[in-house]
């Protein structure tokens, strides 16, 4: 009997020691089971094409998970003062049309510059005076130009990385934080390395050239999105 008790005590001590050696982040405290490890894809190469900004005009191509994205900036001198809806300058209110102009021009057989996309948005009742662009513009505009658009709901690092590496890009409506004080559309274009991704920010070349932690983006998503937002998955059909 003493021998069995001793063996049981030694086994218990060994189990406790093994558990103590495991990082707590790997243990589901509610169930005591191990979390599956995050499997990361191979690191994408760093961008090789330097951006060109001449007389306020931007020329830049960005790697994306579905091909090369032609970058547009809403403050480009060619259209910064163009009036969205005949009233609101694109440089301040044009993130939605600029983001979708990038996607449509890059991944369909049509080319629309931001002013042309802004006119389309206004003509189809997506423009909100002094408020930018209605959220349903993102999925409905993408579909109207022959792209597949769907609501993305897996708000985890693993979910975002899996979506990108499965042949999709993401349009995200950001809330207050690094990108905006209110609301702002960006494109999550591609995996970068580790748990970082590339983005295309229609308002900032600097942000576009910076790798972003997925968790930072998730933490700053808008809490007031509708129409399937704050993130939509986009892919060519």
Beta strands at 231-236 and 67-70: parallel, antiparallel or unpaired: unpaired
CB 152 within 8 A of CB 109: no
Choose between 46 and 95: higher pLDDT: 95
CA-based angle 125:128:132, to the nearest 5? 120
Among 212, 173, 205, residue whose Cα is nearest residue 190: 212
d(CA 167, CA 67): 9
Q: Report residue 114 as tokens.
A: 């931001």
pTM: 0.81
Model confidence band, residue 20 (pLDDT cutoffs 50, 70, 90): very low
Q: Report residue 6: phi and psi, to 5°.
A: -65, -45
What pLDDT is recorded for position 102? 98
pLDDT tens for each residue of 136-156: 999 999 999 999 999 999 999
CB 183 within 8 A of CB 173: yes
Close Cβ partners of 221 (under 8 Å, ≥ 6 residues apart): 155, 172, 173, 174, 175, 230, 231
What pLDDT is recorded for position 121? 98
CB 103 within 8 A of CB 109: no
pLDDT exceeding 70 applies to what percent of the chain? 78
d(CA 193, CA 41): 8
Model confidence band, residue 52 (pLDDT cutoffs 50, 70, 90): confident
Going from the C-alpha of 120 to that of each of 18, 147, 185, 202, 226, the distances in angstroms are: 62, 16, 17, 18, 21
Model confidence band, residue 44 (pLDDT cutoffs 50, 70, 90): low
d(CA 164, CA 188): 8
Q: Is residue 50 predicted with pLDDT exceeding 70?
A: no
Q: Average model confidence (pLDDT) for the chain?
A: 86
Beta bridge partners of 199: 188
pLDDT tens for each residue of 161-204: 999 999 999 999 999 999 999 999 999 999 999 999 999 999 99
For residue 230, cis peptide bond before it (omega within 30 degrees of 0): yes
pLDDT tens for each residue of 82-127: 999 999 999 999 999 999 999 999 999 999 999 999 999 999 999 9
pLDDT tens for each residue of 22-40: 333 332 333 333 334 445 5
d(CA 176, CA 174): 7
What pLDDT is recorded for position 2? 42
What pLDDT is recorded for position 74? 98
């Amino acid at each position: 009997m003493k021998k069995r008790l001793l063996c049981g005590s030694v086994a218990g001590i060994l189990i406790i020691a093994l558990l103590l050696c495991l990082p707590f982040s790997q243990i589901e405290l509610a169930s005591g089971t191990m979390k599956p490890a995050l499997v990361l894809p191979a690191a994408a190469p760093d961008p090789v094409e330097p951006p060109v900004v001449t007389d306020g005009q931007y020329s830049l191509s960005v790697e994306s998970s579905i091909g090369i994205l032609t970058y547009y900036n809403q403050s480009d001198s060619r259209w910064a003062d163009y009036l969205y809806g005949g009233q609101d300058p694109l440089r301040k209110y044009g993130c939605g049309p600029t983001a979708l102009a990038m996607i449509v021009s890059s991944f369909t057989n049509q080319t629309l510059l931001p002013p042309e996309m802004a006119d389309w948005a206004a003509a189809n009742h997506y423009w909100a005076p002094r408020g930018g662009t209605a959220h349903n513009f993102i999925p409905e505009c993408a579909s109207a130009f022959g792209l597949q658009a769907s609501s993305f709901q897996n708000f985890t690092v693993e979910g975002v990385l899996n979506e990108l590496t499965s042949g999709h890009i993401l349009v995200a409506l950001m809330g207050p934080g690094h990108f905006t004080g209110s609301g702002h559309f960006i494109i999550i274009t591609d995996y970068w390395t580790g748990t970082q991704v590339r983005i295309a920010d229609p308002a900032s070349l600097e942000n576009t050239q910076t790798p972003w932690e997925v968790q930072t983006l998730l933490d700053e998503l808008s809490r007031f999105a509708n129409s399937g937002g704050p993130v939509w998955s986009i892919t060519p059909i």
